[in-house]
Chains A and B, each alone.
Chain A
Amino acid sequence: QQQVKQSPQSLIVQKGGISIINCAYENTAFDYFPWYQQFPGKGPALLIAIRPDVSEKKEGRFTISFNKSAKQFSLHIMDSQPGDSATYFCAASTKAAGNKLTFGGGTRVLVKP
């Protein structure tokens, strides 16, 4: 049973546009929500993360928005660049389950020049 649902599966955006990826979770005990970026043939790398005590976190062109009541969180990539073309994964974990990360299915983002 997938506890973290991610959409869309793929996304094409023009250079300079905004990429938006959404995730929904079921387990209300989740207390840590990271996003990972993965390039082909490489391991994922931590991009940005948020905890449920804040509704938004921004790091450079990347912003996480978090809606606790709706059990949803999203990644916004502002001013998207061709170098942002990658697969993005959301994830969630809870201390009660030993902080094991449960991942969404991934979104392949292509930024066209």
Chain B
Amino acid sequence: DGGITQSPKYLFRKEGQNVTLSCEQNLNHDAMYWYRQDPGQGLRLIYYSQIVNDFQKGDIAEGYSVSREKKESFPLTVTSAQKNPTAFYLCASSVQQGDGYTFGSGTRLTVV
């Protein structure tokens, strides 16, 4: 079955540590997105990529980095510069830059 796989499901980060969240899709979608979800604030766009080897900042990109070396993969790194990283992170993909996103099951990141 086609879909988006996010791993790990739960992730714990120590202060000053970089962590990388994985997102893989086998839907042959061109566009991929990373959103952050906090209680009561909906989903906020971190980064997005419309084609391989190209990506753009979203509304809250500070403290995050991404890469898009393969069409299927769009990993997100939460750097030590992100001062409040505890959140639920969602990866999504779509055909042609939008219209009916398919979301992964998310990664819950907690700072310990």
Contacts and interface: CB of A to CB of B under 8 A. Distances in A.
B100 A49 contact: yes
Nearest to B98: A99
Interface in A71-107: 89, 93, 95, 98-106
Contacts of A99: 31, 94, 96-99
Contacts of B6: 43
Contacts of B100: 34, 46, 49
Given A43-B103, A100-B48, A105 B98 contact: no
B25 interface: no
Q: By DSSP majority rule, is chain B's interface helix, strand, loop, or mixed? A: strand
A34 B43 CA distance: 14
A32 B103 contact: no
Contacts, number: 69
A18 to B, nearest CB: 23
A1 B45 CA distance: 13
A105 B103 contact: no
Interface string B63-92: 000000000000000000000000000101
- Name the interface size band of chain A: 20 to 34
Nearest to A99: B98
A45 B103 CA distance: 7
Contact of B40 (A44, A45, A105): A105
Nearest to A32: B99
Given A103-B42, A105-B41, A106-B40, A44 B103 contact: yes
A42 interface: yes
B98 A43 contact: no
A3 to B, nearest CB: 10
